């Protein structure tokens, strides 16, 4: 099969445990691009946090960000696709978090809004961005809200309270339990699979001509959608079971191995 599009998750997949792209992967990615194969990033991170890595790979194509909520061009910033959270859901979730003493962050295009200054370091680490501190996040709604992040230092309180929220909104919104102390909430139709299908249609690429590579639950739908769905060696067993292929871990150049084996045809 001659693959034409490769969608790669970032954290735990493209990035090493040191949050870098290996030199070998950078070199191989450029060879793949020279063969006119499209490489894109498909990440839970916001657009601005993906851009430095897109530049490292010299990508000039649309990127899938915020777990499929937003697609923007790496080169021009042009917006192609957006799934936002509606005002009624936004206000209900914010009020619930205030009532249950859960911290929350609101993602709006290129901005992150927080109420608790102690959460600054979280976003500086995972989003590579400095959030804006607001007095009352409830009053900041507009039509650019692509993600709400709920967090708590008390894992039990987070799981207990978010489970109640999930039971109310599970048919209206999508919940991603990304890390032990974080829960991401996005539009019901916002996921990496739908965003990848949008890109495939845009570039007139068949599903069979797509490779998706990931390591976590939020990658499952795009791994099942692609012609070749690849799980990382460091992925949980449930993801490996649904994947077509399991590569090496992100600490062993797993992405590089896939690009060499299936695109460059190295043995």
pLDDT (tens digit, 9 = 90+) per residue, 170-226? 999 999 876 667 889 999 999 999 999 999 999 999 999 999 999 999 999 999 999
Of 169, 187, 205, the last residue of a domain is 187
Q: Are residues 94 and 180 in the same domain?
A: yes
Same-domain pairing of 199 and 75: yes
Same-domain check for residues 109 and 150: yes
Supply the pLDDT for residue 191. Answer: 96
Residues 115 and 243 in one domain: no
Q: Which of 128, 154, 187 is the last residue of a domain?
A: 187
213 and 164, same structural domain?
no
The number of distinct structural domains making up the chain is: 2
Domain boundary among 130, 162, 187: 187
**225 in the same domain as 168:** no
Point out the residues that are catalytic.
9
- DSSP labels, the chain: ----EEEE-IIIIIS-TTS---HHHHHHHHHHHHTT-EEEEB-SS-HHHHHHHHHHTT--SEEEEGGGTEEEETTT--EEEE----HHHHHHHHHHHHHHT-EEEEEETTEEEES-GGGHHHHHHHTSS-PEE-S-GGGG--TTEEEEEEE-S-HHHHHHHHHHHHHHHTTTEEEEEEETTEEEEEETT-SHHHHHHHHHHHTT--GGGEEEEE-SGGGHHHHHHSSEEEE-TTS-HHHHHH-SEE---TTTTHHHHHIIIIIS---
Same domain, 78 and 197: yes
Same domain (yes/no): 197, 170: no
163: containing domain: 87-187
CATH number at residue 46: 3.40.50.1000
Residues of the chain with pLDDT under 70: 125, 178-180, 267
66 with 126, same domain?
Answer: no
pLDDT at 180: 65
CATH of the domain at 168: 3.30.1240.10
pLDDT for the residue 178: 66
Looking at the fold, whether 95 and 167 belong to one and the same domain comes out as yes
pLDDT at 129: 74
- Domain shared by 131 and 254, yes or no: no
Please check whether residues 138 and 116 belong to one and the same domain: yes
Residue 189's pLDDT is 96
pLDDT in the model for residue 152:
80
């Amino acid at each position: 099969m001659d693959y034409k599009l490769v969608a790669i998750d970032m954290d735990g997949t493209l990035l090493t445990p040191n949050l870098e792209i290996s030199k070998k992967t950078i070199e191989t990615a450029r060879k793949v691009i020279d063969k006119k194969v499209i490489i894109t990033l498909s990440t839970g991170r916001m657009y601005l946090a993906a851009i430095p890595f897109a530049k490292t790979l010299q990508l000039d194509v649309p990127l899938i960000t915020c777990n499929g909520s937003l697609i923007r061009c790496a080169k021009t910033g042009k917006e192609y696709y957006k799934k936002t959270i509606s005002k009624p859901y936004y206000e209900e979730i914010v009020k619930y978090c205030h009532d249950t003493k859960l911290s929350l962050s609101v993602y709006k295009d290129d901005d992150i809004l927080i109420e608790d200054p102690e959460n600054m370091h979280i976003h500086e680490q995972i989003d590579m961005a400095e959030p804006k501190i607001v007095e009352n996040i409830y009053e900041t709604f507009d039509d650019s809200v692509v993600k709400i992040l709920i967090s708590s230092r008390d894992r039990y309180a987070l799981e207990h309270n978010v489970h109640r929220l999930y039971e109310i909104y599970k048919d209206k919104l999508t919940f991603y339990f990304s890390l032990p102390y974080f829960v991401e909430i996005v539009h019901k139709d916002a996921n990496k699979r739908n965003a990848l299908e949008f890109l495939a249609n845009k570039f007139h690429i068949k599903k069979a001509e797509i490779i998706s590579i990931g390591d976590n639950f939020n990658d499952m739908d795009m791994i099942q959608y692609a012609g070749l769905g690849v799980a990382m060696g460091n992925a949980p067993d449930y993801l490996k079971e649904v994947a077509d292929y399991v590569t090496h871990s992100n600490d062993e150049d797993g992405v590089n191995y896939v690009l060499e084996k299936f695109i460059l045809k190295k043995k």
